[in-house]
Amino acid sequence: MEETTISTLKQWKKNKNKFAVITAYDFSFAKLFYNQGISIMLIGDSLGMTIQGNNSTIPVQVKDIVYHTKAVRKGAPKAFLLSDLPFLSYYNISKAIENTKKIIQAGANMIKIEGGKKILNIVQELSNQSILVCGHIGLTPQSVDFLGGYKIQGKNKDDAMQLIEEALLLEKAGIKMIVLECIPSKLAKKITEKLSIPVIGIGSGKNTDGQILVMQDVLGITEENIPRFSKNFFNKDNSIQKAIQQYIIEVKYGLYPTQKHSF
């Protein structure tokens, strides 16, 4: 595959080419995912749970993201890598720039940052420094205690309008992509249509430009608290490679997510 860039993603949105994204945390899986056709990977703070065994993303530190970003970059040199800015690593502009520098130098193409109106000035300043920023609204795991748990966001009219407004404001501030997590599928469709940037969904229906899943969910490794929106693409009659190929195909042709995976 040719090297994937933000221009590639913009063209995919323009051409309505749906794409699959997956989390990756190490060299071996990054190489396997890329060789099967996944060219966008997220080094997510989900590693706090999937790799470190914590019950949330809160304990993850910048050094953890840096370490895993380096490993994934070695496994997938031409992939487009997103890396999370973890909890309280961007509480002001100077801290956001300092930590983003470390992550970009580790091999990330883009950093992902959670939040809406409260982070607009940080997004704008990072964008002014020619840093690619991905937004993340809806269910934001770093704020899960504040939100009262892992709940669907944007269910009522006022909350839905706020999410639409925040998405538009984030785009104006300079984000080049956005993740919508656990919002109603109709709302995700509306936001995707309003934005000119690529929109990636997780638990937000099938009408976003792309879909992202945690690799442990895709491969059926997760055994407890399995999210409703996830799907195990692996079975005893196939291989990890075939499971990844199936994930890509089902996203591309709109077979995943189905209504049962949406809200």
Q: HEC string of 87-156? A: CCCCCCHHHHHHHHHHHHHCCCCEEEEEECHHHHHHHHHHHHCCCEEEEEEECCHHHHHHHCCCCCCCCC
According to the model, what pLDDT value does residue 149 have?
Answer: 62
Is residue 199, in this structure, part of any structural domain at all?
Answer: yes
Is residue 214, in this structure, part of any structural domain at all?
Answer: yes
Is residue 225, in this structure, part of any structural domain at all?
Answer: yes
Is residue 1, in this structure, part of any structural domain at all?
Answer: no
DSSP helix/strand/coil, 262: coil
Is residue 68, in this structure, part of any structural domain at all?
Answer: yes
Is residue 192, in this structure, part of any structural domain at all?
Answer: yes
According to the model, what pLDDT value does residue 226 have?
Answer: 79
Number of domains in the chain: 1
According to the model, what pLDDT value does residue 82 have?
Answer: 98
Is residue 191, in this structure, part of any structural domain at all?
Answer: yes
Distance, in Å, from the CA atom of 19 to the CA atom of 257, rounded to the nearest integer, reads: 12
Is residue 138, in this structure, part of any structural domain at all?
Answer: yes
According to the model, what pLDDT value does residue 250 have?
Answer: 96
Going residue by residue through the chain, which has 263 residues, state the pLDDT in tens, using 9 for 90 and above.
789 999 999 999 999 999 999 999 999 999 999 999 999 999 999 999 999 999 999 999 999 999 999 999 999 999 999 999 999 999 999 999 999 999 999 999 999 999 999 999 999 999 999 999 999 999 998 987 676 666 789 999 999 999 999 999 999 999 999 999 999 999 999 999 999 999 999 999 999 999 999 999 999 998 777 788 889 899 877 899 999 999 999 999 999 998 888 88
Distance, in Å, from the CA atom of 21 to the CA atom of 214, rounded to the nearest integer, reads: 9
CATH of the domain at 56: 3.20.20.60
pTM: 0.94
Range of the domain at 121: 6-261
Distance, in Å, from the CA atom of 117 to the CA atom of 123, rounded to the nearest integer, reads: 10
Catalytic residues: 181
Distances (CA, A) of 252 to 15, 17, 124, 184, 245: 12, 7, 32, 21, 11
